[in-house]
């Protein structure tokens, strides 16, 4: 058995030779604090440090954070041999070459094919065959939370899409954070039970604590029972959300809440066109048919809004200002060609932004055709899916699992955290 002294010597030698690290820890254990400390330490010495995340919301929590797709130019459609759309001898390539450290948050959400593409990119740029071109890279996240989303994929297919199940994982040195720094002493028991759920030790059925069960079964009445919608203010609504498993249920709930709000409703209709030069496609996929579609990540054809409504961005408009995919805002004015909205922030420092109509193309590669929708890149956000809520902060939430059999342990873990 190794002594402590021998073990520490072994670890120091291993860390000197190591360039790829993974920081594992549940929510509240201090991952973001570690990222921020590392980024400030590296930049304080005059070196370059890149901060990326798998989602726009997570990227806003990091100093100088951007989405991984925007930094590395990762293609939307991936396979085992995909390459990043970033050319050498460009300013973007120079940023990667000059980087001393790369920090990547919410890594478990990203498909392993994306990591392989980034690995190839950095090797090509640095002309080094070491993992990720020999760059010091710190991935972080929690595999108990959301894994890569595979359309109609089985459990085994979802698991196999994780970096943890690929040979690339063996190049990483894993570090673990275990103590929940966010929980008070009175909440330690709940934090322990929560970790028990995340580890899958609760079995197929999860027994929730008594305080989690609502007295009112209707989610809208449950969440907004103490609110008079005739005099409701955006401040009363911003910290509340109804979480669902599917987008369809979320949109139904959003429309219900909007009907309860005071004020005149404004309907914005999109302009939909098929993306094809084939005249037959123009005849096969009519505008009326395209209007009826609302693919994942797209706004509806008929966007119903009222002043004071809570909305969510569906695209990264200005990441440097915190306007990312998933950012929640309050509608201030509804004009013909622009929507004025204020970003919801923890410090109540509301700043107004103008949201324009932009052309949007669904990222769903399984559709037999492509179409373009010109619409405001937003949707109502009184309700959202559990996955979309990851990284968001709320004062009061309600989980609607009515008629849903898709509520896996990972979804429950994200909701409870």
φ/ψ region of 172 (left if φ > 0, alpha if ψ in -120 to 50, else beta) reads beta
Residue 24 lies in a domain: yes
Q: What is the structure's pLDDT at 347?
A: 58
Q: Give the pairing of strands 99-105 and 136-141.
A: parallel
Rounded to whole angstroms, the Cα distance separating 393 from 60 reads: 13
**Number of domains within the chain:** 2
pTM: 0.79
Residue 376: name the closest of 302, 318, 288 by CA: 302
Q: Are residues 163 and 267 in the same domain?
A: no
Q: What is the structure's pLDDT at 152?
A: 75
Q: What is the structure's pLDDT at 405?
A: 47
Rounded to whole angstroms, the Cα distance separating 304 from 263 reads: 12
**Tokens 């669902």 identify what position?**
244
Q: Are residues 13 and 66 in the same domain?
A: yes
Mean pLDDT of the chain: 84
Residue 184 lies in a domain: no
pLDDT exceeding 90 applies to what percent of the chain? 47
Q: What is the structure's pLDDT at 339?
A: 97
Residue 417 lies in a domain: no
Q: Are residues 12 and 116 in the same domain?
A: yes
Which CATH number characterizes residue 38's domain?
3.40.50.300
Q: Are residues 168 and 272 in the same domain?
A: no
25: three-class secondary structure by DSSP: coil
pLDDT higher than threshold 90 for residue 278: no
- Decide which of 56 and 234 is more confident: 56
Q: What is the structure's pLDDT at 168?
A: 93
Tell which of 176, 192, 223 closes a domain.
176
With cut-offs at 50, 70 and 90, classify the pLDDT of residue 148: confident
Q: Are residues 284 and 160 in the same domain?
A: no
Region 196-209: mean pLDDT is: 66
Residue 162 lies in a domain: yes
**Tokens 């498909």 identify what position?**
111
Q: Are residues 10 and 110 in the same domain?
A: yes
**Residue 148, φ and ψ in degrees, nearest 5:** -55, 135
- 53's enclosing H/E stretch is strand 48-53
Q: What is the structure's pLDDT at 392?
A: 77
Q: What is the structure's pLDDT at 170?
A: 93
Q: What is the structure's pLDDT at 393?
A: 76
pLDDT exceeding 70 applies to what percent of the chain? 82
Region 69-86: mean pLDDT is: 92
Lowest mean pLDDT among 14-23, 259-268, 298-307: 14-23
Q: Which residues contact 318 (CB under 8 A, 6 or more apart)?
A: 353
What range does the domain containing 139 cover?
Answer: 1-176
Residue 341 lies in a domain: yes
DSSP per-residue letters across 164-198: GGSGGGGGPEEEE--S-SSS-GGGHHHHHHHHHHH
Q: Are residues 393 and 337 in the same domain?
A: yes
pLDDT higher than threshold 70 for residue 17: no
Residue 389 lies in a domain: yes
Q: Are residues 43 and 164 in the same domain?
A: yes
Residue 384 lies in a domain: yes
Residue 327 lies in a domain: yes
How far CA 263 is from CA of 113, 229, 383, in Å, comes to 48, 10, 20
Region 311-327: mean pLDDT is: 88
Read off the pLDDT of residues 362-398 as tens digits, 9 standing for 90 and up: 877 677 888 999 999 999 999 998 878 877 778 888 8
Rounded to whole angstroms, the Cα distance separating 121 from 92 reads: 12
Tell which of 176, 204, 234 closes a domain.
176
- Decide which of 60 and 353 is more confident: 353
Read off the pLDDT of residues 28-67 as tens digits, 9 standing for 90 and up: 788 999 999 999 999 999 999 999 999 888 888 888 888 9
Q: Are residues 390 and 298 in the same domain?
A: yes
pLDDT higher than threshold 90 for residue 353: yes
Q: What is the structure's pLDDT at 59?
A: 86
DSSP per-residue letters across 303-333: EEE-TT-EEEESS-SBGGGTB-TT-EEEEEE
pLDDT higher than threshold 60 for residue 406: no
With cut-offs at 50, 70 and 90, classify the pLDDT of residue 2: very low
Q: Are residues 136 and 237 in the same domain?
A: no
pLDDT higher than threshold 60 for residue 119: yes
pLDDT higher than threshold 80 for residue 342: yes
Q: Are residues 257 and 139 in the same domain?
A: no
pLDDT higher than threshold 80 for residue 201: no
Q: What is the structure's pLDDT at 90?
A: 94
Q: Are residues 134 and 235 in the same domain?
A: no
- Asked if residue 21 lies in contact with residue 138, where contact means CB atoms within 8 angstroms, the answer is yes
């Amino acid at each position: 058995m190794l002594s402590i002294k021998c073990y520490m010597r072994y670890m120091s030698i291993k860390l000197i030779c190591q360039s790829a690290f993974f920081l594992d820890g549940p929510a509240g254990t201090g991952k973001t604090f570690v990222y921020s400390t590392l980024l400030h330490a590296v930049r304080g010495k005059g070196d370059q440090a890149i901060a990326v995340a798998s989602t726009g919301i997570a990227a806003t929590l990091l100093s100088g954070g951007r989405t991984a797709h925007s930094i590395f130019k990762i293609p939307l459609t991936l396979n085992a041999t995909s390459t990043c759309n970033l050319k050498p001898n460009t300013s973007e390539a120079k940023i990667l070459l000059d980087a001393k450290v790369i920090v990547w948050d919410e890594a478990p959400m990203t498909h392993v094919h994306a990591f392989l593409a980034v690995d190839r990119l950095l090797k090509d740029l640095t002309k080094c065959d070491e993992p990720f071109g020999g760059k010091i890279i710190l991935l972080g996240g929690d595999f108990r939370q959301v894994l890569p989303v595979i359309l109609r994929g089985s459990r085994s297919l979802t698991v196999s899409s994780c970096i943890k199940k690929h040979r690339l994982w063996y190049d990483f040195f894993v570090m673990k954070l275990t103590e929940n720094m966010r929980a008070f002493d009175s909440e330690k028991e709940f934090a322990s039970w929560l970790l028990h759920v995340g580890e899958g030790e609760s079995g197929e059925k999860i027994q929730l604590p008594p305080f989690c069960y609502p007295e009112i079964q209707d989610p809208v009445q449950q969440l907004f029972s103490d609110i008079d919608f005739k005099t409701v203010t955006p401040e009363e609504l911003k910290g509340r959300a109804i979480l669902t498993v599917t987008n369809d249920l979320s949109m139904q709930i959003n429309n219900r809440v909007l009907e309860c709000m005071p004020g005149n409703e404004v309907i914005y209709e999109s302009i939909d066109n098929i993306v094809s030069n084939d005249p037959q496609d123009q005849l096969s996929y009519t505008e009326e048919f395209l209007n009826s579609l609302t693919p994942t990540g797209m706004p509806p054809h008929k966007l119903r809004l009222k002043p004071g409504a809570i909305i969510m961005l569906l695209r990264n408009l200005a990441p440097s200002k915190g306007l990312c995919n998933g950012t929640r805002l309050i509608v201030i004015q509804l004009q013909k060609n622009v929507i004025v909205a204020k970003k919801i922030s923890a410090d109540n420092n509301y700043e107004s932004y103008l949201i324009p109509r932009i052309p949007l193309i669904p990222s769903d590669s399984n559709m037999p055709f492509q179409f373009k929708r010109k619409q405001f890149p937003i949707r109502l956000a009184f309700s959202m899916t559990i996955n979309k809520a990851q990284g968001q902060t709320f004062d009061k939430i309600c989980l609607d699992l009515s008629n849903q059999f898709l509520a896996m342990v990972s979804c429950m873990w994200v909701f409870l955290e």
